[in-house]
Chains A and B, each alone.
Chain A
Amino acid sequence: MFFEQLVNGLTLGSIYALFALGYTMVYGILLMINFAHSEIFMVGAYIGFLVLFSILAFPPQFLPIYFLLCFILSMLGAGLLAVIVERIAYKPLRKASRLTPLISAIGVSIFLQNLIMLTVGAQSKTYPDKLPITQFHFFDVQISSLQIFIFGLSILLMIILNIFVSRTKLGKAMRAVAENHTVSQLMGINVNTIISLVFLIGGGLGGIAGVLNGLYYGSIKYNMGFLLGIKAFTAAVLGGIGNIKGAMVGGFILGIAEALAAGYISSESKDIIAFVILILVLLFRPAGIFGEEVTEKI
Chain B
Amino acid sequence: MKNEIKNYELKIKNGGRREGRKLKIWITWIISLLLLIILPLIGYNCGNYYAIHVAGLVGIYCILCVGLNITVGYTGLLDLGFMSFCAIGAYTAVLLSIKGIPFWITLPISLFLGGFIRYLLGVPVLRLRGDYLAIVTLAFGEIVRLIANNFDWLTNGPKGLPRVGEKIAEIRLFSLVFNDDLQFYYLIFFFLAGTILISYRLEHSRIGRALVAIREDELAAGLSGINVSQIKSIAFVLSGMFGALAGAIYVHWIGFISPEMFTFRESVLLVSMIVIGGMGNIGGAILGVILLVGIPEILRPVLGTKFVDYRMLIFGMIMIVVIIFRPEGILRSKRRAGELKIKNYEL
Contact = CB atoms under 8 A, between A and B. Distances in A.
A278 interface: yes
A264 to B, nearest CB: 17
A218 B150 CA distance: 25
Nearest to A241: B132
Contacts of B271: 103, 106
Interface centre among A89, A92, A102 (most CB of B within 10 A): A102
Nearest to A96: B327
Interface string B262-291: 001000100110010000000000000000
A113 B315 CA distance: 12
A160 B76 CA distance: 41
A268 B14 CA distance: 68
Nearest to A297: B346
B134 interface: yes
Question: Chain A interface mostly helix, strand, loop or mixed?
Answer: helix
Given A92-B324, A114-B312, A114-B313, A182 B346 contact: yes
A131 interface: no
Contacts of B135: 33, 230, 233, 237, 278, 282
B3 interface: no
How many B residues are at the interface, by size bracket? 35 or more
Contact of B324 (A102, A104, A118, A282): A104
Contacts of B138: 230
Contacts of B30: none
Given A182-B346, A275-B142, A107 B264 contact: no
Interface in A96-110: 96, 98-100, 102-104, 106-110
Question: Chain B interface mostly helix, strand, loop or mixed?
Answer: helix
B131 A98 contact: yes
A181 B346 CA distance: 9
B109 interface: no
A257 to B, nearest CB: 15
Contacts of A115: 313
A283 B124 contact: yes
Interface centre among A100, A111, A118 (most CB of B within 10 A): A111
A93 B319 CA distance: 13
B134 A110 contact: no
Contacts of A180: 346
Contact of B142 (A103, A114, A230, A283): A230
A34 to B, nearest CB: 11
Interface string B135-153: 1101110110010001000
Contacts of B150: 268
A32 interface: yes
A107 B330 CA distance: 16
B323 A298 contact: no
A252 B268 CA distance: 30
Given A32-B131, A230-B142, 18 more contacts: A93-B324, A100-B323, A103-B275, A106-B268, A106-B272, A107-B319, A110-B268, A110-B316, A113-B316, A114-B309, A114-B312, A118-B309, A118-B310, A182-B346, A272-B143, A279-B136, A279-B140, A282-B136
Top 7 A-B pairs, shortest CB-CB distance: A111-B316, A107-B319, A110-B316, A114-B313, A107-B320, A275-B139, A114-B312
Interface of A: 32-33, 88-89, 92-93, 95-96, 98-100, 102-104, 106-115, 117-118, 180-183, 226, 230, 233, 237, 268, 271-272, 275-276, 278-279, 282-283, 286, 298
